[in-house]
Structure 1
Amino acid sequence: MPNNQTKALVQGSMMVAIFTILMLISAYVPFIFMVALLFAPLPIAWYSANYKRSSSILVAVVGCILTVLTSGITMVPFAFILALLGVVMGNAIQQKKSKLYLFMSSGIALLLSMAIVFVAFVQFAGINMIDMSLELVLENYEQSNELAKSVTGQVMFQPEQLEAMLKTIELTMPATVTISAFFAAFIIVTLNLPVLKRLGLVVPKFTPFQNMRLPRSILWYYMIVLCINLFMRPEVGSTLDIIVLNVSYILWILLILQGISFIHYFISKKGMPNGVKWVATLLALPLSSFMILLGIVDLGFDVRSLVKGKTKE
């Protein structure tokens, strides 16, 4: 028992040191700071996968404290978010959860930690990062307008268009932040799991993207949102309008992914080269409306069995 405690203490100190160094690099080395941030959860995740949760949380807290002492208080939000993410990832690996569970729990942890950081900035520093971002977007559009006017004599965006655009960005900010958090979690999980595997951990695997099937309940949510828009028509800017707009945004992204998954499945079953999948994925954005429809058909009907049967014939 004493040997195990000593081993846990030594390895915990090593992981804290590695985490602190990665945060130090992200704070002071301009060219590779993003790489350091992406792999910062790695030491905490490794430790969390090997030892109990309370010890992992203690290691994460110590790592955050040392980050403040070495990198300055400006790195506290990043240290908090990434250390928490490492604990969640490692805990999911230790409990032998599926990769989907690991991804979802990591995305939720990232989203909640970002929300906590946002509230802390507003409450203690009086800084609203969303308002600052919107002001920055407005300045960029105004500069683009001035540049276009000086070159062509016409502005790119009329004031009414610019105001409507910024209003839409502001209203869809919750959905944008949510999607961004889960996308960032996906990138971090995808990059760190192979390294954790090389370090001797048994890590879960995703099923191939072509076999992705979202829950059919997504269709019911989509129908509810459509009915609200068609029959209730919430007032623009009202709470219901904001909720419906953000839920619609997330559902569109999910259905587009489902549509792309079906295209990948079809291409794979037809024996086409993998390059065709990349072309189809690139065309998904300009054909987003078609992809949403394809995602709805794929979820609502057993189209894949038909494709599979035709392939066998």
Structure 2
Amino acid sequence: MKNVRKLTEGAILLASFSVLLLLTIYVPLLGMIVNLFLAVPFMLFAAKNDGKSIFVFIIASLLLSFIVGSVMSLPLTLAYGTTGVVIGYLIQKQKNMGVLFIAGSLVFLVNLVIIYVSSIVLFKIDMITEMLDVMRESLNISADILKNFGNEEESKRVLEMFNNGLNLVKTLIPTLFVLSSFFIVFIMQLVSFPIIKRFGVKIEKWKSFKDITLPKSIMYYFLLTLILSMFMNPEEGTFWYMAIINMTYILQFLIVIQGFTFIFFFFEQKGISKAISITIAIAAFLIPIFLYIIGILGIIDLGFDLRKGLTKK
């Protein structure tokens, strides 16, 4: 009886996944939203079943996606399927939200890297490089138009600035992959968890944003990265240049997040409206210098544990 129930539940979830996959592939605009729900059937199944059953479910979903979609739908199924399965299994083991988020993000990141490398090795398609080349061509055309209007110096300056920007984007591909994984998994959990809760799956609540504190070791990694960049001064395009600049941007991002959480914590301690904190957060993205100030707050909070002092007071 138990096996029959498990088979029935698995079949229903696979059917639901097939509908979501079809909408994602064949209805482009709607698919951009629907794809965030692709992990829901996997989370639900993994939260209630053992490892062997989960493995069979994954294999069945890959076969089904090949039949319903095509070979091109397999990477999509693998990325969302494995991420959903890992999150669901950790829910079953009653892990906290931080573990669910980090584990899900890492699994999704690995999938992104595999898909990107596979597209280059198997199909000789580098989507990011091709996109940057198209943008460069557009810039060259725009520069030629400016030259025709007699603005040759201005066109050279603008072209050089944009080319430097595109080169930086290419260098920061690993950082973009990491941040994209964090963002996608965060949104995925945001839309999926309310659904799976309705099916009787218990999930711990997120910590309040103000209570999030990153490990102090992040500050030491950041300082070490800055020291390495100063003393090594690697040439642009080398492995060490890419490694250091990507580590710097990722760590800066985490320190800024720490700064934001401290602002929300400080304002609540002082009884100031949360709307002010949200306004400051929005303004920081519009006025870049504010991000540097918030980053400094993040470093000070990590280094000197400002929250502890405020809590005591």
Asked if 1 retains the 8 angstrom alpha-carbon contact of 2:143 and 2:159, the reply is no
Cα separation, 1, equivalents of 2:143 and 2:205: 48
1:138-172: per-residue Cα shift (whole Å, max 9, x none)? 24544665677789955495333233222211111
| Deviation, structure 1 residue 54 | 2.1
Residue in 1 that maps onto 2:299:
296
1:289-310: per-residue Cα shift (whole Å, max 9, x none)? 1111110001011212333355
Cα separation, 2, equivalents of 1:208 and 1:146: 52
Asked if 2 retains the 8 angstrom alpha-carbon contact of 1:57 and 1:87, the reply is no
Instruction: Summarize the alignment of residues 210-229 of structure 1 with structure 2, pairs less than 5 Å apart.
Output: 210-229=210-229
Instruction: Summarize the alignment of residues 200-279 of structure 1 with structure 2, pairs less than 5 Å apart.
Output: 200-279=200-279
Match of 2:101 among 92, 103, 123: 103
Instruction: Summarize the alignment of residues 189-208 of structure 1 with structure 2, pairs less than 5 Å apart.
Output: 189-208=189-208
| Deviation, structure 1 residue 277 | 1.8
Match of 1:114 among 112, 133, 140: 112
Asked if 1 retains the 8 angstrom alpha-carbon contact of 2:140 and 2:159, the reply is no
Asked if 1 retains the 8 angstrom alpha-carbon contact of 2:139 and 2:159, the reply is no
Residue in 2 that maps onto 1:284:
284
- When normalised by structure 2's length, the TM-score is 0.92
1:44-81: per-residue Cα shift (whole Å, max 9, x none)? 11001000122112212212221221223332221111
- SS in structure 2 opposite 1:31? helix
Distance 1:210 1:235, change over 3 A: same
- When normalised by structure 1's length, the TM-score is 0.92
Structure 1: any 5+ residue segments left out of the alignment?
A: none
Distance 1:14 1:151, change over 3 A: farther
Given residue 289 of structure 1, which amino acid in structure 2 is its aligned partner?
A: Y
Instruction: Summarize the alignment of residues 1-313 of structure 1 with structure 2, pairs less than 5 Å apart.
Output: 3-142=1-140, 154-155=154-155, 158-285=158-285, 286=288, 287-310=290-313
Structure 2: any 5+ residue segments left out of the alignment?
A: none
Asked if 2 retains the 8 angstrom alpha-carbon contact of 1:256 and 1:292, the reply is yes
Cα separation, 1, equivalents of 2:145 and 2:15: 49
Greater shift, 189-198 or 136-145, is seen at 136-145
- In angstroms, what is the RMSD of aligned CA positions? 2.1
Distance 1:289 1:13, change over 3 A: same
